[in-house]
Amino acid sequence: GESVGLHLPTLSVQEGDNSIINCAYSNSASDYFIWYKQESGKGPQFIIDIRSNMDKRQGQRVTVLLNKTVKHLSLQIAATQPGDSAVYFCADSSGNTPLVFGKGTRLSVIA
Amino acid sequence: KAGVTQTPRYLIKTRGQQVTLSCSPISGHRSVSWYQQTPGQGLQFLFEYFSETQRNKGNFPGRFSGRQFSNSRSEMNVSTLELGDSALYLCASSGQGYTEAFFGQGTRLTVV
C-alpha cells in the first residue's frame, strides 16, 4: 500500500534556532495531512494539519508547508525549545481512508 | 473537555491468553480508530469504528477484533496472544473520519 516517509530519522538543533522536519508522501490522491508530536511514554499529540487546497498553514510557533507537485510536506518550528524534543510524525489520508504514518523523526534540542 | 482515555495503561499477559483494551473518545466524537505502535513497524492501522460500525480494517489477523458501543466507547480484543503482539496500542477519536484525530496515551501491552 501507500506509505508516508520522513527524510531524516534524527535532527539535532540548538535551542532558539528554527527546526525543519521534512516528509515525503507517495499517494497523489492524499488530500489531508497532519503532524503529530510524541514524547516518550505518551500518545501522539496533534500539532497542526493542512488540506490539499492550501500550501501553507501557521499555528503557534509552527508552520506546515505542502508542496503537492513534489509530494512533500514540512513542519517548521520557530525558536525551538527543550520542550520540543520528541518524535515527530507526519501522516496523510485521502477521503475516508485511514491515516498512513511515516516512521518519525526524533528531534533533539541542544541547550 | 476531557481527552481520549485509554485503560489500562499497562498490561502484562502470557502467550495464549486474550486481552481487552478500552478507549473512551472525546465527548461528541463518533469515530474511534485503533493503531498498533512498535519500534520496527511504526504506527499501523488496526480498524476504525463509527456509530458502532466497523468502517475500515487494517491488515491484521482475525485475532484482533473490536467493537464500539452506543456511547462511542470502543474496545479492542486480542485473542491467543503472541510475543509479537507486544506493543503500544493507541486509539484516536475524531468527529468523523480521520481528520483532526486526537490520540489517547495508549496501552502498553507486554506478552511474555
Mean pLDDT across the stretch A11-17? 96
Helices (H), ranges, chain A: none
Lowest-confidence region among A10-19, B52-61, B94-103: B94-103
- CB-nearest to A42 from B35, B99, B105 is B105
Cα A26 to the center of its chain, rounded Å: 15
Q: What percent of chain A has pLDDT over 70?
A: 93
Strand ordering across the sheet containing B5-7:
B5-7, B19-24, B74-78, B64-68
Which amino acid, one-letter code, is at A64? V
Which residue from A minimizes the CA distance to B57?
A: A98
Are the beta carbons of A100 and B45 separated by less than 8 Å?
yes
| Disruptive mutation site among B99, B102, B105, B107 for chain A (greatest number of A CBs within 10 Å) | B99
Are the beta carbons of B101 and A100 separated by less than 8 Å?
no
